[in-house]
Every structure is written in structure tokens, then in C-alpha cells.
A and B are shown apart, each in its own frame.
Chain A
């Protein structure tokens, strides 16, 4: 059963998302699209933070890098978006590898501050490099994705595309997490010295985790750009990095299902809590703090704990 976990998760995403795509109205579909796009970014973040334990406050910069790469390639250079997506992912991954080499020598709060500085610098550069990025006006007129005469230009159609992408990403993430590479990342997170003792190349593993996280972030960014068909600097500032981090913590770090659930939950939560008005962020902060203190393994961890409790109770009664 465990061997097919990746297929089951992918199928669950497709079936559940597909059913929702048929029953929900347009506005909810838009939110679902935003959830799917965020979920891909959070799945990537899970490699860096959940598995390899790299505390990054700059994930949104990678999402933005991918989104801007696609926007520039499709509008200024006239590329097809289908070609621009892999190109954007490649450029972003290379960028991550390049900065990862010096950056990943840092740990703990030093890494957090450096990645925060990176995200702020990214925002400053895209806001001011007007000839390339359009400054605060952003880049509009990004073409839609289409297959032959079928254009992914409304919420429902785009959702189908997004769900397929998310299912593929989730299956890949689960497979990788169970592989030698995934276990190496977790070993580095848990104890760097011990990991090195067992012959793991710690630097390589960390850079691989960062590159994977950047690749997923870039895919998420390109989908964002082709969904909204407009990019602007404030969509990728460090507040978004904190949201990605919160999504993973709420869902449960280190778990693929947690990343997806956290992304969906935190996208819909502001809608459900609309009655809070301006106080939503206070609620958001307090919720995050409460989860950190009382539920450090997130919702997925809570589900696991409940299941074990149930099993324990069953064992009691049969005995």
C-alpha cells in the first residue's frame, strides 16, 4: 500500500479537485486556483524547510523570479508560454544553485536573515529596474496557455491544468521524499555531523534541496503569471514568504499532504473569516503562534496522533 502512496495522493488531488471544479462557482474556483498554485510553491518549500531544515524567509523571491522570467520571455521576447515555463524553471534553479553555494554555509537565524535580505533585495530590484520589469506597474499582457484551440482562459479550465501539475508535483515529491535523496535531506536536518559521518555530502544535499525548492517555486510562479496574466513586485515580497512558511507549518512540515492542505486552508481562511475585517492578520498571527506551541507537527501530525489514539483504544477493547 505504502508503495503506491504517490499514485494515491495524485489521484486524490485529481478526483477531489475535479469534483470541486464542477460544483463550485466562479469566485471559489479562483480561490481554488490560487490554492493549487500556492500548494506547488509550498511543496517546493517543504524540500528546503521541511526535509532539509533550511530556514528560509525568501521563498517568494524564487516564485517571483520564475514569474518574472516567464513574463519577460513571453511579452518582450515573444516566446510561447509552453517554452517559457521550462526556461523560467531552469533559470530560477540555476540562480538558486549559484546563490546557494555561498548562502548555505549559514545556519539558523543567520540563514533566516540572509534569505530575508535576499527577498527584500529582489523586491527592490524588480521595483526599480523599470526597463526590464516595468517597475511598480508590473508586466501585463502575458499570453494565456492553450493546447491547440483549447485555451486555459477561464477559472475552471485553468484549474484542470493546475490540478494535473499539482498531482505530478505531489507524486514526484512523495517519491523523492522516500528515496535515498529524501532521507539524506532529513538526516542533514536532524544532525549535520552525524549525516556527514555516514558519508552524506552535506553541502550537495542542501544545495539540491534549495534547487528543488526553487524549481517548484518557479513552476508556481509561471502558473501564477499565466493565471493572473499580470505580475507586479508586491506579489512576491517577503510577506508572501512568511505566508508560504505559515502554510507549511499549519499543514505539517515534512509532509506532502500537509503542504497541500496548509496551502488550501490558508487561501480560503481569509474568506471564511471575512467578518473579522481588518483583524484577520491578528488572528493569523495568533493562530500561527498557537500551532507552534501546541501543535508543532501541524494538522497532519494532529491527524496521525488521533489515529494512533484510536488504534490504542481499539487495542484496549480487543484485549
Chain B
């Protein structure tokens, strides 16, 4: 039982990170229609922003985390101008391949900046464990779950209780109508990209102490976030959360109880089954070929 609790909490923590990555992915998709295949590299950038500020520059962690997230926000704005605007009117295929290309560039840039040797990113709660019914839970894992819960609440407040968030949803629903209502559509689209990038950055900062910071970590995260999005439902925020937690839990529980070699296969098989049987996912959009 103690083993199960430990695995379950760690699975929830990992799933929370996937959920945050998936939420960023979904926000961009809903607002701009772009399926961002570079989403995993955004999370990797978040981890390495943490490495740069905390491990390399030696900033204390509140300052370092803030600096890392500001850097991510700046990167989101840059991405909006350099990648999104030129590709805005291109066909879906072009956008997909374009973001794949950008992902390759980002991964290579990290390799050039940080080298291929993995880094260790320490947690602010390093070394603290909590005892729950005989199971030793790292305080970091518990913090990840709590932080994700808070963030989800904040995102909900933003989208449903503030003028800014309602404007972002309006643009996502119908950019033309939003423009006619006098909303600054480009600014709101840029803010959607920045919000997504910052969420990916938080996911990266939380993931850093759970894995090693490795420039190749982006692809596995992207694949899990994609699986989470499909399972939960494309374009749906509750879906991204449910899907992320599901993928994280199956990964850790599957590795212990089924097969550690095939643990990653479970998420993909479930994803492909969902695509075939229920492509709109648990909560998602109905239109099979939107985008």
C-alpha cells in the first residue's frame, strides 16, 4: 500500500507537469489554431531557463524562478513575431512542419548553449520528505501537485472572471467578430502565446528536479502532452488536465505493475485508440478535422 501511495503521488506530480504542458498547447491551439509541435521544446527551455538562472547565475530561488519565467515570456513574444505571424495564413500542413522545424532549431540552440551533458536542477524543497501512511513522498512532488492545482484555478479565474481572459476567449472563438467589437486581436493573440510559454516554463521548472535537465527532454514531454491532449479532448482545458494526469499515472503505475519496458507504449496505444474510437476525446471538440 505504501508503495502504491508513493507511486500514485509521483504519478500525479508527473501528470501535473504533462497537464501544464498540455494546457499551454491547448491555449495556443484554441486561440490561434496552431498545432505547436515545438511544445515539448518550450518545456525544455523552461527547465534550462531555471538551470541558467539558479545553477549558473546562482540567483536565490524566488528571484531565479521569476527571472526564468520573465525570460520565457520574452521568448513567447519573440516566437509570436518571428514564427507565428509569418505562418499565420499558411495551410495546416505548413504550420505543422514549420513548428517541427522550429523545435529542431530550439533543441539545437540548447545543445549549443548548454552542451549534451545533463544538469541537475535542485528543488527549493530539496531533501525534504513527507510521510503519508508509511509512504515517503518528496516534498517537491507534493509541491508540484499543489502548484498545478493553484495554477489551474488561476487560469480559470483569468478566462472566466477577468476582461482580459474573456477577450482572449472571444478572439479564440471568432477573431473577426472580436475585432469588430473593438478588441485588439493581435495583442490578445500575443498574450495567448506568452501565457502558453510561461505555463510551459513553469512545467519545465517543476520537472527539472524530477528528471535531469537534458537538452533532449523536449520530445518525450511533447509526445506525452500530445497523448494527454488527444485523450482529454483537443482544445479542451479540463481535457488537458484529465489527460495529463492519466498519462502521468499510467506511466508510473504501468512501469511498476505491468512492464517498465513498455510503460511508454500504454499512453500511445490509448491515444491511438482514442483517435480511432472517440477522436474528440473525453471532453473535446466535436469537429474531427478542425484546424
Contacts and interface: CB of A to CB of B under 8 A. Distances in A.
A57 B37 CA distance: 11
B50 to A, nearest CB: 22
B108 A117 contact: no
A197 B264 CA distance: 42
B101 A292 contact: yes
A212 interface: no
Interface in A102-116: 102-103, 105-110, 112-114, 116
Given A117-B272, A118-B272, A110 B108 contact: no
B112 A117 contact: no
A251 to B, nearest CB: 14
B87 interface: yes
B229 to A, nearest CB: 8
B87 A285 contact: no
Contacts of B118: none
B269 A242 contact: no
Nearest to A288: B101
B227 interface: yes
Interface residues of A, number: 40
B276 interface: yes
- Residue of A246, A284, A289 ringed by the most chain B CB atoms within 10 A: A289
Interface in A59-77: none
A286 B265 contact: no
B261 A128 contact: yes
B105 interface: yes
A107 B96 CA distance: 13
Interface string A99-141: 0001101111110111011101100110110000000000000
Closest 3 CB pairs of A and B: A285-B105, A285-B104, A282-B108
27 contacts: A102-B276, A107-B288, A108-B93, A108-B291, A109-B35, A110-B275, A113-B230, A114-B275, A117-B226, A124-B264, A125-B265, A278-B111, A278-B112, A279-B108, A282-B105, A284-B104, A285-B103, A285-B104, A285-B105, A285-B108, A288-B97, A288-B98, A288-B101, A292-B87, A292-B94, A293-B87, A296-B94
